[in-house]
Amino acid sequence: MSAKQSLIVVGNGMVGHSFLEKLVAAGGLDHYQVTVFGEEPRPAYDRVHLSEYFSGRSAEALSMVKEGFYQQDGLHLKLNETVQQIDRDVKQVVTSKGQTIQYDQLVLATGSYPFVPPVPGHDRENCFVYRTIEDLEAITEGARSSKTGVVVGGGLLGLEAAKALKDLGLETHVVEFAPRLMAVQVDDGGGAMLRQKIEALGVSIHTGKNTKLITDGDGAVHQMQFADGEVLNTDLILFSAGIRPRDELAKQSALVMGERGGIVINDQCQTSDPAIFAIGECALWEGKIYGLVAPGYQMAQIAVDQLTGKTDSQFRGADMSTKLKLMGVDVASIGDAHGQTKGSLSYQFIDDEKKVYKKLVVSKTKKRVLGAVLVGDADEYGNLLQMMLNDMVPPKNPAELILPQSDGAAPQGLGIAALPDTAQICSCFNVSKGDLVGAVAGGCQDIGALKAETGAGTGCGGCAQLVKQVLDSELTQLGVEVKKDICEHFPYSRQELYHLVRVGELASFNEVIVSHGKGKGCDICKPTIGSILASCWNDYILKNEHAPLQDTNDYFLGNIQKDGTYSIVPRVPGGEITPEKLIVIGEVAKDFKLYTKITGGQRIDLFGAHVNELPAIWKRLVDAGFETGHAYGKSLRTVKSCVGSTWCRYGVLDSTSMAIAIEHRYRGVRSPHKVKMAVSGCTRECAEAQSKDVGIIATEKGWNLYVAGNGGMKPRHADLFATELDDETLVKYIDRFMMFYIRTAERLQRTSVWMDNLEGGLDYLKSVIIDDSLGINQELENEMTHLVGTYQCEWKTTLESPEKLQRFSHFVNSDELDSNVVFVSERDQRRPASKEEKITLQEVS
């Protein structure tokens, strides 16, 4: 086998990293020894979502690197190091640390830098750009002593940056040279609507402003002077006036450059030197720089293809359509948004009440969609984009494509079946319709599975509705009946059963199966309906008619272990516990010889109790003021917290008190699966709230609420749901979130999968819970209020009933313990004996 070639990658941004991921996936490490240089101190992160850093997302959470990626053999990442010089004659590079390295192939992914207009005073202090995490840290620092902030540039990035300043609590202005916002992507009408919406959010917009000078301010740090004679005083200035390719290195190496910069590449993404590729925002293809990430990813794929022998692959330009959410406002631009194609016709729809603007551009013959602008509501984005990309014929009256449907009828679909398999559905991860069809045929039969398998819809999310349409259409074609019956006894999904129980006011399993099912039930439907009954009416779960429905954990109010004994978890709300209570737990554990371990949820788990011992153990605990921790239930487990502002020098709100209040509120509430919550007292996030179903993070202006995270087998970061909430609103939102989850999730579906499967995902959830789009919030709150008001400690109730206590015996006819339960000692505590140990012990005795 021949020795591996040396491949050097200059730049570790989003595109450079995507190149490496694709190279690894294509088996490139079998042929190349790869060295990567990144000038920043950290590996690739998500610049597209940079503004989320200000709403609480950490630098780590923005990282794009899967664990272990840069630890692979044959892949060497050098951070804080740049390539200074390329000597093309001898094929070697010299780095900023003075190293010389040979290459066979070289990839330039140097990206771009923010353009700062050469206005006198642009380099004053408290003037920033918006590109790296270090920039963000500097902006955060600068904002501390500032009251007002100005963003220069009203394009896509400028508005993102404005959101960042707003999140930092500054009075925010946007100054734009052009007469409207997002001049490249949207037309006058769209720009005007966008302006109204953003001004309504408290950001002042100044268009048509040419900054001439920045000098000392009047009552502020700076004064910006404009060509029209007006001035604006501000403490902080952020330049976001476009990008320029980072091409110095290529220029020095005498590669062919564009007149106004950019490294010229051919369709193979090669520069004028065939051993050197350029991809992403540093590359110039047919006179164009692509300032979006998706075309950069496409170039990365072409370069990988070239390097791994698929030499017929070509870059043929990229679609620049975009859909994004700017400060919560949907904005989308497709194709020829300005209607510049000769003879094109356009249609406009304006809703001044809801602040929606839509424009559709079609060809003269009305046979093709050429472009569109959507502001305020971009639901049609996926459909319109596909129609344009695939030359699909619009309806006779093309305006129907953007007109609202009456009576909330389903939006005009494009007939997804008509799309060719090659149609790209997800541009972030280049997933075609064919890829989705293949994955569905391969067994991905729900949205969650399909997203996980293909990656579609997990980037910007713009294609989520299309992905769902492909899924539905394929399932229908495959003849798969989308059956959600929970078992053979009920032809209903959990959601439907919940509804039947709630509306029919059914109070027992018997009533439910007599009216809606058949047979006697089973170990699937019994616990499910047991849980639904508890979610609706909150009866004591061991009432005679409910007891046979419960899994053994709920039945014995403990967690069964591998040897048939149970573990015990008293509730420790928010993880706060007095020394006295800690001593009680210790004494109980000692007296009953229970194995003791601290849980991940800031509680104490006591293992190895025989069923016979449970009541005596709980008597001691309840007498000492403990209540059950519901560690056994599909219900709220813990609300983890840090000490917050009470003790911590960084804490901004009292996270412990909030955690205790939340834990007391939702304790015992039965739900489709377990629910975990956490409260952090500041953005350092010591309570790891973003890995919970409900995560709460304190900011100086209130609570940020995150939802639908989880740890476990498939960890998922929670999504930011709402920001800067007061206590009351926070609790209201959680009430609604919990009840909506309880109403609509499938059996054993955690909130993460549930949300991923909701059509419309996070945005839909926000519309239901924040905007009350279904008009059910009052009901949801009332239902939760009922659950909170009817809470009881199941152990306390059980201890008060001699009849119930009779069940806590291994034998109905003997007080003996199960002789098959055998313990051995390890590290001074008991643990279950292994099979081999049991045999040995028997031989000895």
Residues lying near another protein in the complex (CB under 8 A) are found at 488-489, 519-523, 525-527, 544, 547-549, 551-552, 555-556, 560, 562-564, 806, 810-814, 816, 818, 820-821, 835
Please identify, using beta-carbon distances, which residue of 523 and 591 lies nearer to another protein.
523
Which ranges of 351-423 does DSSP label H, i.e. alpha helix? 381-389
Please identify, using beta-carbon distances, which residue of 36 and 525 lies nearer to another protein.
525
Query: CA angle, 488 as apex, 486 and 494 as ends, to 5°?
Result: 20
Contact 632, 557 (CB under 8 A): yes
Please identify, using beta-carbon distances, which residue of 184 and 560 lies nearer to another protein.
560
Please identify, using beta-carbon distances, which residue of 122 and 807 lies nearer to another protein.
807
CB of 818 to another protein, least distance (A): 5
CB of 811 to another protein, least distance (A): 5
CB of 548 to another protein, least distance (A): 3
Separation between Cα atoms, residue 511 and residue 536, nearest integer Å: 14
CB of 629 to another protein, least distance (A): 20
CB of 526 to another protein, least distance (A): 5
State the residue for tokens 């009256």: 397
DSSP H or E segment with residue 597: strand 595-598
What separation in angstroms does the CA of 21 have from each of 70, 281, 297, 465, 819? 10, 18, 10, 27, 56
Please identify, using beta-carbon distances, which residue of 79 and 522 lies nearer to another protein.
522
Please identify, using beta-carbon distances, which residue of 90 and 713 lies nearer to another protein.
713
Separation between Cα atoms, residue 278 and residue 111, nearest integer Å: 9
DSSP H or E segment with residue 332: strand 329-335
Please identify, using beta-carbon distances, which residue of 365 and 544 lies nearer to another protein.
544
Contact 184, 155 (CB under 8 A): yes
Q: Per DSSP, what are the bridge partners of residue 670?
A: 635
Please identify, using beta-carbon distances, which residue of 199 and 816 lies nearer to another protein.
816
What separation in angstroms does the CA of 491 have from each of 174, 283, 476, 485, 487? 57, 57, 19, 5, 7
CB of 611 to another protein, least distance (A): 9
> What's the full length of the chain, in residues?
845
Which of 552, 542, 493 minimizes the C-alpha distance to 749? 493
CB of 560 to another protein, least distance (A): 6
Cα dihedral across residues 738, 706, 445, 764: positive or negative: positive
Please identify, using beta-carbon distances, which residue of 262 and 832 lies nearer to another protein.
832
Please identify, using beta-carbon distances, which residue of 357 and 632 lies nearer to another protein.
632
Which of 824, 717, 818, 729 minimizes the C-alpha distance to 777? 729
| Helix, strand, coil fractions of the chain, as percent rounded to 5 | 35, 20, 45
- For residue 141, the one-letter residue type is E
CB of 595 to another protein, least distance (A): 17
CB of 428 to another protein, least distance (A): 40
Please identify, using beta-carbon distances, which residue of 56 and 832 lies nearer to another protein.
832
CB of 732 to another protein, least distance (A): 37
Separation between Cα atoms, residue 532 and residue 742, nearest integer Å: 8
Separation between Cα atoms, residue 272 and residue 261, nearest integer Å: 14
CB of 530 to another protein, least distance (A): 10
* Contacting residues for 782 by C-beta, under 8 A, at least 6 apart: none
State the residue for tokens 């209040």: 661
